Amino acid sequence: MKIIPIAAPLLPDVWPHVAPLLDKAVSLSPELIKIQDVYEAAMAGVYVVWVAVDEESGEFIGVITTRIISYPRCKAMAMDFIGGTRMKEWLGMAHEAIEEHAKRNDCSHLEGYGRRAWSRFLEPHGWEQAYITYKKDLTDG
């Protein structure tokens, strides 16, 4: 198993393989973001797209997007979208690679967003729930 950050110039070649893995996570908030928005932001350098590749088969089996958030007193590495299969095989390796990337970029912590069920994957890596987000729709729709 290999975890690789994809440079923007290589993303057009990789995207057709990883977009289907990522789309399930992105499509949970269609009023906020679509898979094409993620692609465009990654091409613009907003997101880093990390892929998990099965080295034996060459198959892309996972994908994570990260971005740096600058707060007034610190920077954080956000893991916004995660998707794929066989997560038990690669999520730990991806976590280590992203944590090192965050440290190299002077981030004080990692942040992640998702459903409550993610705690079973994250808690073994030292994550704890920090807060719950509430949302109120202000449109007529």
Domain span at residue 88?
2-125
Would you tell me how many other CB atoms lie within 10 Å of the CB of residue 22?
24
Q: For residue 119, give the CATH number of its domain.
A: 3.40.630.30
pLDDT tens digits for range 89-118: 999 999 999 999 999 999 999 988 776 667
pLDDT tens digits for range 18-38: 999 999 999 988 889 999 999
Please check whether residue 139 lies inside any domain of the structure: no
Which pLDDT belongs to residue 72? 97
Q: 118 with 112: CB under 8 angstroms?
A: yes
Please check whether residue 85 lies inside any domain of the structure: yes
Please check whether residue 136 lies inside any domain of the structure: no
Q: Which residues contact 122 (CB under 8 A, 6 or more apart)?
A: 112
**Nearest by Cα to 79 from 97, 55, 57:** 97
Which pLDDT belongs to residue 69? 94
Which pLDDT belongs to residue 133? 66
Looking at the DSSP bridge assignments, the partners of residue 111 are: 78
Please check whether residue 138 lies inside any domain of the structure: no
Mean pLDDT of the chain: 90
CA Rg value for the chain? 15
Please check whether residue 11 lies inside any domain of the structure: yes
Please check whether residue 141 lies inside any domain of the structure: no
Structural domain total, the chain:
1
Please check whether residue 34 lies inside any domain of the structure: yes
Q: What are phi and psi of 116, to 5 degrees?
A: -55, -30
Whether 125 has a pLDDT exceeding 80, the answer reads no
**Where do the H-state alpha helices sit in 44-118?**
87-104
pLDDT higher at 10 or 118: 10
Whether 131 has a pLDDT exceeding 80, the answer reads no
Which pLDDT belongs to residue 3? 98
Please check whether residue 86 lies inside any domain of the structure: yes
